[in-house]
């Protein structure tokens, strides 16, 4: 098969996030990602799926599964560059909020991971499901485990899915949070965002706040 190359994300230097620990924390908190690759005819295909993450010997692995009815898994292992996108909060920034004439914009947080896939064995897939359920059930009042469902039942359900891990070789992260504004305008922006009260606006306002400590008035 010929090589498939996916384009990288455009990130102005001012908005580039290179803090590995912060990035990993972000993708763990926003772990429902979009897996993007090419099929055999070079058509771009995408699947929205939950991920778990493991670090081994300073390498990051993204682990997930999908339905066997989904054609995307069939050539995952042969593609040299697979893209996973994790989208965080995002919101519109009105030009009416500034103390000067300017254009409106959009603030957002996003991470792109690039890597090579390996399909899991039956036992690895079972362990992945167990880990995934444990991770999410830990937040519930009455958590269940995969073992409680019974291995025979779970393995029967597993016949319709394929699990895999992606060895991540490149991380690109952007935090576009009005870093090009002075403190007075950042105060105006965060104030207006908090007035909106929707989850995205509040999350972006909170993300902007640390930057306000590092800018001149």
Contact 212, 47 (CB under 8 A): no
3-class DSSP assignment, residue 185: helix
Q: Give strand ranges (E) for the chain.
A: 32-38, 44-50, 52-56, 59-67, 82-93, 105-119, 161-176
What are the tokens at 182?
């002075």
- Residue 217 included in any domain: no
- How many helices (H) does the chain have, and how many strands (E)? 6, 7
**Amino acid 119: pLDDT:** 97
Q: In what order do the strands lie in the sheet with 59-67?
A: 44-50, 32-38, 82-93, 105-119, 161-176, 59-67, 52-56
Our count of domains for the chain comes to: 1
> pLDDT tens digit string along 19-70?
999 999 999 999 999 999 988 788 899 999 999 999 999 899 999 999 999 9
- Residue 215 included in any domain: no
- Residue 198 included in any domain: no
> pLDDT tens digit string along 143-201?
989 889 999 999 999 999 999 999 999 999 999 999 999 999 999 999 999 999 999 99
Q: Residues 6 or more apart from 69 whose CB is under 8 A from it? A: 160
Task: State the pLDDT confidence band at 10, using cuts at 50, 70 and 90.
Answer: confident
- Residue 210 included in any domain: no
Beta bridge partners of 48: 34
Say how many residues make up the chain. Answer: 217
- Residue 165 included in any domain: yes
**Amino acid 182: pLDDT:** 92
Buried b (16+ CB within 10 A) or exposed e, 32-59: ebebbbbeeeeeeeebebebbbeeeeee
- Residue 120 included in any domain: yes
Contact 86, 52 (CB under 8 A): no
- Residue 131 included in any domain: yes
What CATH number does residue 99 fall under?
A: 2.30.110.10
Q: How far apart are CA 28 and CA 50, in angstroms?
A: 10
Beta strand 52-56 pairing with 44-50: unpaired
Beta strand 32-38 pairing with 82-93: antiparallel
* Domain ranges, residue 28: 13-180
**Amino acid 3: pLDDT:** 54
- Residue 106 included in any domain: yes
């Amino acid at each position: 098969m010929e090589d498939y190359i996916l384009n990288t994300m455009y990130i102005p230097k001012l908005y580039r996030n290179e803090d590995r620990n912060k990035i990993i924390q972000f993708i763990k908190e926003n772990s429902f990602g979009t897996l993007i690759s090419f099929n055999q005819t070079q058509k771009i295909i995408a699947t929205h799926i939950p991920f778990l993450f493991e670090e081994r010997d300073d390498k990051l692995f993204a682990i997930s599964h999908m339905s066997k009815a989904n054609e995307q898994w069939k050539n995952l292992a042969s593609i040299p560059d697979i893209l996973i996108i994790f989208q965080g909060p995002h919101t519109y920034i009105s030009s009416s909020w500034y103390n000067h004439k300017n254009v409106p914009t959009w603030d957002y947080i996003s991470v792109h991971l690039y890597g090579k896939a390996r399909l899991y064995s039956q036992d690895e897939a079972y362990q992945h499901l167990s880990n995934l359920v444990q991770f999410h059930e830990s937040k519930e009042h009455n958590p269940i485990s995969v073992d409680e469902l019974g291995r025979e039942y779970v393995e029967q359900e597993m016949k319709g899915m394929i699990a895999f891990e992606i060895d991540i070789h490149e991380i690109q992260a952007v935090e576009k949070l009005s870093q090009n504004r002075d403190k007075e305008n950042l105060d105006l922006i965060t104030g207006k965002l908090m007035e909106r009260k929707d989850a995205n606006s509040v999350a972006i306002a909170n993300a902007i706040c640390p930057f306000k400590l590092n800018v001149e008035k």
